[in-house]
Amino acid sequence: MIVFTSLKFMFRFLVIFLAVYYAVPKRLQNAVLFLGSLVFYGFGQWQFLPLLCGLTVINFGFGHWLSSGKKKGYQRSYLLPRFVMVFAFDAAVLLLFKYLALAVDPSWLPLGISFYIFKMISFQSDAYNGKIPPKVRFFEAAAYFTMFPQVTQGPIMRFHLEDFREPHRLSLMHLEQGLEYFVVGMGMKILLADRLAILWNEIQKIGFESISTSLAWLGVYGYSLELYFDFWGYSLMAAGLGVMLGFPFVENFDHPYASKSISEYYRRWHVTLGSWFRDYVYIPLGGSRKGTAKTVRNLLIVWLITGLWHGGTLNFIIWGMVIGFIIVLEKYPLKKLMEKTRIPGWILVYIVIPLTWGIFAITDLSDLQIYFSKLFPFATGDFGNGADFIKYAQRYWLLFAAGILLLLPPVSRFFVKEKKGFLQFIRILLLLAVFLGSLYLIGTTSSNPFLYYSF
């Protein structure tokens, strides 16, 4: 598998692809992007290439069918059966492979299927609503469905014809900006997320029943930071690659730990997935327009589906429903209190969120019960002696400090936003240090796969 953080990807695939992409005539760039993306995907799971290609052809045909019907002036009621059939087909394919991976073998889950099928569903929905013209060419749609910066883990970019119709000329400014995003994301993944992952792995090796309460809390905070910098890092790398190719920057994280509530947190976390559920599930269900009872129902449905999207094991369903119930509480019983003071919001974001990531991380329910009994040992009174906490806190305090520092919006913006004069010189030096440090660790240690590859 070729991953963004591998030397083969950076110094072979990407260099060769960019050279070909900008060397061919502009009218062929989408075809090059499509074919290059198939090569990239094939190095990961060549056996599922026919599935990806088949879904690409079928969804292009379906999209043309819907958009051409819209152009002919057919009413939405006439086109609705077409859209329902298309939606049901894509959803059935996703559910089938999710089920096979859960019931038969995890190897039955095609790489990135949740992400590229969500892009296909949004394409069909936008075609049904008249947002996509019938003149879309095959390679424009195919490049959108399969583009290698997004095919495995998103972000779930929306289709805009001008992004694929306008010629992408070689731009040193775009290459530089894209490379900067890529380097920042690589540093988050290699220097922070992968190092914090060692802590969670060591806690699992020790056994949840043998850790102290203080180490259990250190573990959930460590995993929370690991997941955040792993996925935010990936998202920045993917967005940077898109910028190098001439596409707009796709923002997938907007400083979620600066939020005042969990509902705001999830508007800022995995932004493209959240907006997808809002536009294609929550609003079609009625959103918040049909009274309190139906709003609560719609929120819980969205979060149930969100949990199932992440995985079929019960812990993901519990995770999704816990988040859904908390958002309902924020929207109604706690609303006035949270408007008066920020304390409930801080508690939810900085204490409850890490606890929910614990539910997310531990798939075995018996292990989950043990872990939470260590977090809250009130029944047994066994808090442990804390020596293990001191040991690992001394080992990982610098990573925690760096992670917490990067949670602050002004600090992280310093790395991803251009400055002027001396500040820009310092920023470039820091990015160079991050790049060289990441390359050193890539060459001397084994890198963990991105966490969202499994979804």
The residues annotated with a catalytic role in the active site are 310
Residue 20 burial (C-beta neighbours within 10 Å; 0-12, 13-18, 19+)? middle
The amino acid at residue 423 is L
DSSP assignment string, 328-396: HHHHTTTHHHHHH-SHHHHHIIIIIHHHHHHHHH---HHHHHHHHHHHSTTTT-----SHHHHHHHHHH
In 3D space, the residue among 83, 81, 58, 70 whose CA is nearest the CA of residue 141 turns out to be 58
The dihedral over CA atoms of 199, 202, 203, 207, expressed in degrees to the nearest 10, equals: 170
- The encoded tokens of residue 324 equal 């859904």
Rounded distance between C-alpha atoms, residue 66 and residue 62, angstroms: 6
Task: Note whether 453 and 152 are within 8 A (CB).
Answer: yes
**375 CB-near residues (< 8 Å, 6+ apart):** 213, 216, 217, 220, 355, 358
Q: What angle do CA 434, 413, 395 make, to 5 degrees?
A: 50
